[in-house]
Chains A and B, each alone.
Chain A
Amino acid sequence: MNLVIYSLCRESDLLRKAPKDPNFNEEPIKVEWSEDVPGVGQSVSLGGEQRWFKVQITRYQSAQQDIDVYFVHVNRTLAVPVGWDCDGRENETIHVELSTVGESILGFAFNVLGEAPKVGSRLMNYQRTSHPTLMQETSSDWIRDRYDECIPQGAAPYKAIYLTWCKQNVLTTAQLQA
């Protein structure tokens, strides 16, 4: 089984000149399970009507699981942009929080410090507030149970991708008193 991460990077020039580009109303990240290996030049939808081209694909492999992870940069044309806003992240890691193979992901984050996930920590839910950019965190029913480290074979946009397997953990009296 393959886990495919599609990432829509913005061209740096475009980001500066047209920050409200309507093309970027689509979801900039999409994660899906697939039996197929992605290929350069194929197109994909990111939730809207527009088709995006897979322009750069990096394979990450795990030693523990029979899962390959593909990180796929997409663009509006088949050309690889000269400067992307997602360039220069080689020291960062990606954390994909999952319950089981084939299920929708629970969470997705870029760890700027390049760290591994913290096993035992709880996933959070995020809610909008009346403040324009302030988000409120609340505890979810999921905790990080273990992870698989997936490493690229050569040069890659991110140092590693961690598949973080989570389990439900609703607080009970027994757990609290233990």
Chain B
Amino acid sequence: MKRLPVGLFMGMLSACYFADIARVALQPSEVRANPTIPAAAAACLSNPNCMAAMVTIGGVVYWEIREGFNIRHIPLAPMLGDPGNVAGRRETHAVANSAICDEMLRNFQQRGRRLKLIERRYVGGQLPYLCIFEGVDAQPGYYDDNRYK
């Protein structure tokens, strides 16, 4: 009978173990229908010498990537949520020029929305600026959905 290398065998055991942890750790309300696998984890999954699994450490879910003695953790949270767009806290909008951030703010204030313009971040490209608003009335996608109303 062909024997598996000890490392690979241990790796398979660990993978099962971590998969179980992941099943326990991920509550249904946290999981999107089709979560994206980060590039590092995807590359690892296609590499027989690398192991990728979801683990929870301190209540936070991570992709754990093990390659030899090198262990990395990539938080899952950015994929499951978006810190830039959180109802009641923060809205982020991409715009063509920085003056639009001020127009958006005036628009929001006229509607009685309790939001502050915090930052105009330059990111380049077709919509080079981000307008970042914070406040209790933050609602992701609000401006675009209500632009013509």
Contacts and interface: CB of A to CB of B under 8 A. Distances in A.
Interface in A1-25: 10, 15, 19, 24
Contacts of A90: none
A86 interface: yes
B7 interface: no
A107 interface: yes
Contact of A110 (B77, B84, B97, B98): B98
Interface in A106-121: 107-113
A24 B94 contact: no
B140 A134 contact: yes
Interface size of B as a range:
35 or more
Given A134-B140, A173-B71, A10 B57 contact: no
A171 B116 contact: no
A177 B71 CA distance: 13
A141 B136 CA distance: 29
A128 B117 CA distance: 20
Contact of A134 (B75, B99, B121, B144): B144
B58 A139 contact: no
Interface in A52-96: 85-86
B94 A133 contact: yes
A19 B96 CA distance: 9
A168 interface: no
B130 A27 contact: no
A4 B149 CA distance: 42
Contacts of B37: none
Contacts of A135: 84-85, 92-94, 130
A138 interface: yes
Given A108-B121, A124-B83, A137-B84, A171 B128 contact: no
A124 B62 CA distance: 17
21 contacts: A10-B99, A15-B97, A28-B128, A29-B122, A29-B124, A29-B128, A110-B122, A112-B118, A124-B83, A126-B92, A126-B94, A126-B121, A132-B144, A133-B94, A134-B85, A135-B130, A136-B84, A137-B92, A171-B74, A172-B73, A173-B57
Interface of A: 10, 15, 19, 24, 27-29, 85-86, 107-113, 124, 126, 128, 131-139, 170-173, 176-177
10 closest A-B pairs by CB: A137-B84, A138-B78, A85-B99, A109-B121, A110-B120, A108-B122, A171-B73, A133-B93, A29-B122, A136-B82
Interface of B: 57-58, 62, 71-75, 77-79, 82-85, 92-99, 101, 116-124, 127-128, 130, 140-141, 143-144
Given A109-B121, A135-B94, A171-B75, 7 more contacts: A28-B122, A85-B99, A134-B85, A134-B144, A173-B57, A173-B73, A176-B57
